[in-house]
Amino acid sequence: MAENILEVRNLKKYFHVGSGSVLKAVDDVSFSIQRGETFGLVGESGCGKSTTGRTIINLYEATGGEVLFNGENVHQLKGKKLKEFNRKMQMVFQDPYASLNPRMTVGDIIAEGIDIHGLYSGNERKKRVFELLRTVGLNDEHANRFPHEFSGGQRQRIGIARALAIEPEFIIADEPISALDVSIQAQVVNLLKQLQHDHGLTYLFIAHDLAMVKHISDRIGVMYLGSLVEVSEANALYHKPLHPYTEALLSAIPIPDPEVEQTRERIILQGDVPSPINPPSGCRFRTRCPKAMPQCAEVQPEFKEVEPNHFVACHLYN
């Protein structure tokens, strides 16, 4: 068994919103990621994927639960230990337009982490920036330009170079391709896969594009309304989804074969996603689930292993 580089245990992140209400963005989420693998986290917009990623990397303070990175609780780190953690875990953000400082040159953006951690200086710093630019498919002369001079795909490559600059072990990629043209998306995903191979990286890849997640992920977790409903190896999830929500998500992926596409049944979910401020009782998916039973309204299903390495939270498997 490969060792776990990351363990998320009963993670909660609540936000206090107006008039004393509490928005449960992440509610009791648990999963682990092995060293060297890519764990995909999927679900529709607003399900808590990005909040999970930001809480793991300590951009948000957890409301409850714990995150263990290399065996240490990241939310209890201070001083030198916290600085070491910040070097080992980096993030590639969703919006390549908002995540780069428009007043800094690309060279200074990439080298910011190098300067903070005192890794290189002078000519060595310059050489390291050039090396990183070439690694992500850009040129040395791009170092002196500003972010507004680049396309979305190029800006995302700059964001990846910035994350790589301090030689991290783990990268959280928060929807890194959703703001890019389809033709550029595959290039960025292939770049991430190549970098993982070359540098021994581990990824948490957050996305809502299930087809792309399958392409890059070893295992996949499916989130709905702040909770995990299914976790499985990628192939098992696509060939035999167990949770009704996962089945509905997968039925929406088009297949490039007209004959197969005609025979497939699309699962159209009824109603809207409930508010995370006032989630349904019992199973959160029951208000839209085509297989809902009376007990789904009364008892929250246990998240458990029903097949080898295949976990699901659904009363159908109790």
* Average pLDDT score, the chain: 90
Q: Kindly report, residue by residue over 164-189, the tens digit of the pLDDT.
A: 999 999 999 998 888 778 878 888 88
pLDDT of residue 182: 80
pTM of this prediction exceeds 0.75? yes
Of 99, 213, 205, the residue nearest 161 (C-alpha): 99
Of 190, 172, 170, 171, the residue nearest 180 (C-alpha): 190
DSSP 310: E
Distance of CA 110 to the CA centre of its chain: 22
pLDDT of residue 264: 65
In the three-class reduction of DSSP (H, G, I as helix; E, B as strand; rest coil), residue 242 is classed as: coil
Please report where in the chains the tokens 């959703």 appear, as a residue: 178
* pLDDT confidence tier of residue 286, bands split at 50, 70 and 90: very high
Q: What are the structure tokens assigned to 210, written together? A: 């299930």
pLDDT of residue 270: 78
* pLDDT confidence tier of residue 261, bands split at 50, 70 and 90: low
Q: What are the structure tokens assigned to 62, written together? A: 């957890």
Read off φ and ψ for residue 81, nearest 5 degrees.
Answer: -65, -40
Q: Kindly report, residue by residue over 218-238, the tens digit of the pLDDT.
A: 999 999 999 999 999 999 998
pLDDT of residue 145: 94
Residue 256 has pLDDT above 70, yes or no: no
DSSP character string of 100-134 = S-TTS-HHHHHHHHHHHHT---HHHHHHHHHHHHH
Using an 8 Å Cβ cutoff, are 194 and 186 in contact? no
